[in-house]
Amino acid sequence: MRREAYGQTMSELPQERRVVTEIPGPISRELHARRLDAVPPGVGSVLPVYVTDAGGGVIVDVDGNSLIDFGSGIAVTSVGNANPKVAEAVAEQAARFTHTCFMVAPYESYVSVCEALNRLTPGDHEKRSILVNSGAEAVENAVKIARYVTGRDAIVAFDHGYHGRTLLTMTLTAKNMPYKHGFGPYAPEVYRMPMAYPFRWPSGPENCGPEAAAQAIDQISKQIGATNVAAVVIEPILGEGGFIEPAPGFLPAIAEFCKANGILFIADEVQTGFARTGDLFACEHEGIVPDLVTTAKGIAGGLPLAGVTGRAEIMDKVHPGGLGGTFGGNPLSCAAALAAIDVIESEKLTERARWIGETMLPRLGALAARDPRVGDVRGRGAMIAIELVKEDGITPNPELTAEIAGRCHANGLLVLTAGTYGNVLRFLPPLVIPEHLLLEGLDILDEAFAG
Ligand SMILES: *Cc1c(COP(=O)(O)O)cnc(C)c1O
C-alpha cells in the first residue's frame, strides 16, 4: 500500500544524503557572517546551512550538502518541498494575478479553500472559514470571534502550550524563554491551567488524564468562574511543548465541560493538522468536535496561509467588516493550498503518516530500551519525539539533547528540539520522505546516541 500511495508527484532532486563539507560549510559560514550584519540575532536558525533546493526528503545547501529533512520547516512541507503540483499551481496563479485583496475584489480559490476546510475539519455540522496569514493570526482571530459571540472575556490556555509570538498569542504561550522574556506586559484575561503530561504526572501516567482534567475544571470553576470564560485554546498534541499527547480522557473531559458551560473549544491544529498525526486532524483521535479550529503550517505546501474554521452560527455572528486583513487568503497561497490538499487526499498522506509512525516508534522504543537517557518515546503519525533525561530517569537533560542534535546535524540529518525544558528531540519528516531516507535518518540518530 505505502509504495503506491505516495510520491506520485515526487521531487526530481536526488533523494540521497550527501555530506561533502563540514556542516555548515564554508559558503554557508560566509553567508552567515553577512546575515549577522543585516539580521538581528533575535531571529535564530536551528542549523545555518543556506538552502538552494529542497524536495522529497532532502534539503540541499550552497556547499553541495544534501541533508535528510526530519523537520519539514516545522511541520509545513508535509507534501514535500516545492511539490511539483504546488509549484505548478503557484506559477500559473502568479502569471494571472498575485493580489487583489479578498476584501476588495474576491476570487474563487479563497472560497474553494474555505469549502475544503469546512469539509475536512472534524464534525459534519455546517461550517464557515476565514483565511489569514499565519498561525498566530488564526489564533488571534479565533479568540476575537469567541469573545464577540459569547460576550465573555476570559481565555483559558494550558501549561506547555504554544500559540505564537504576537502579543495575544505570546500571552497564551506558556514558555518564558525565548518567547515571552522581556516582551511584557501581556494581554489581559488569559488564564493557564494544568496539562495532562503523562511522562511528568506526579501520580503516574495511568492517572494523568482524569486527574489533570479534574484539576483544570476545578481551577477554571473556582478561579475564573465558568460563565466568565469565552474559550479554551488547546493543542490536541502539544507542538513546541515537546509533542506531549494529552493523556487519554483529558481532551474529551475538557470538551464536555466546555459544552456544559457555554465555553467555546478552540482546537489549535496549526502544527497537528493536515495529516501530520495520521489523522487529517489530531482531534479526530478521541472524537473531539471543536467549535473552532485554527490551521496553518501544513495547509499550503510551504506558502503562508492560515485559517479559522468554525460552526456557521458562531462564525456568521461577527458584523460585516469585523474580520479580514490585506494579505489574508492571498491567491498564490490559495492555489498552493488547493494543490497541497489534493496531494494529501489523492496520495493518501494520512496513511503515509501512520506508516511513518509505525516505522519510527519501534526503532525509538528499541533505542530507549538500551539507552536510559531516553526517558520517553511518544507522538502519533509523523509527529514523533523522544524526551531525554539524566540518570534518575526524570530530570530533563537539555545539554545531551543539544549534543545529539549537533551530532545529527554534522552527519547530515536535520532534527529539531522542543519542550519546556529543551530536552525533547522532535521528528517531523515530510510525509513523502522515501523509506530509505527515513531509515537512514534513524540510523544516524542511533549512531549519535552511541557516541
Ligand atoms: C507554529 C504554531 C503557531 C504559530 O504559527 P505562526 O504561523 O508561526 O504564527 C500557533 N500554534 C501552534 C500550535 C503552532 O505550532
Count the neighbouring beta carbons within 10 Å of the beta carbon of residue 42.
6
pTM: 0.97
Exposure string over 262-293, b if 16+ CB within 10 A, otherwise e? ebbbbbbbbbbbbbbbbbbbbbbbeebbbbbb
DSSP structure class, residue 33: H
The reported pLDDT for the residue numbered 2 is: 39
- Of the residues 316, 346, 376, which one is the last residue of a structural domain? 346
Residues 110 and 35 in one domain: no
Atom of ligand 1 nearest to the CA of 74: 1
Q: How many domains does the chain have?
A: 2
Length of the chain: 451
Instruction: Give 18's Cβ-side CA count (13 Å radius).
Output: 14
**Domain containing 9 — which CATH number?**
3.90.1150.10
Distance CA 412, CA 24 (A): 10
Residues 165 and 267 in one domain: yes
Atom 6 of ligand 1: nearest residue by CA position = 135
**Domain containing 152 — which CATH number?**
3.40.640.10
Q: Answer yes or no: are the C-beta atoms of 386 and 424 closer than 8 Å.
A: yes
Residues 132 and 241 in one domain: yes
Q: Which of 43, 76, 132, 162 to mutate to test the pocket of ligand 1 (most atoms within 8 A of CB)?
A: 162
- Of the residues 295, 327, 346, which one is the last residue of a structural domain? 346
Q: Which of 72, 244, 297 to mutate to test the pocket of ligand 1 (most atoms within 8 A of CB)?
A: 297
Atom 11 of ligand 1: nearest residue by CA position = 163
Residues 136 and 239 in one domain: yes
- Of the residues 346, 373, 392, which one is the last residue of a structural domain? 346
Residues lining ligand 1, Cβ inside 6 A: 134-136, 139, 162-164, 235, 239, 268, 270-271, 296-297
Distance CA 234, CA 45 (A): 27
Residues 320 and 370 in one domain: no
Distance CA 329, CA 305 (A): 6
Atom of ligand 1 nearest to the CA of 164: 4
Please list the rounded mean pLDDT of every run of 10 residues in the chain (451 residues).
Answer: 54 95 98 98 97 98 98 98 98 98 98 98 98 98 98 98 98 98 98 98 97 98 98 98 98 98 99 98 98 98 98 98 98 98 98 98 98 98 98 98 98 98 98 98 98 83
Residues 123 and 31 in one domain: no
Range of the domain at 355: 3-79+348-450
Distance CA 84, CA 343 (A): 10
Atom of ligand 1 nearest to the CA of 238: 13
pLDDT tens-digit map of 362-407? 999 999 999 999 999 999 999 999 999 999 999 999 999 999 999 9
Residues 291 and 362 in one domain: no
Q: Answer yes or no: are the C-beta atoms of 295 and 273 closer than 8 Å.
A: yes
Atom of ligand 1 nearest to the CA of 271: 15
The identity of residue 164, as a single letter, is G
C-alpha 239 to ligand 1 mean position (Å): 9
Residues 340 and 353 in one domain: no
Residues 197 and 284 in one domain: yes
Q: Answer yes or no: are the C-beta atoms of 54 and 302 closer than 8 Å.
A: no
C-alpha 163 to ligand 1 mean position (Å): 5
Residues 316 and 182 in one domain: yes
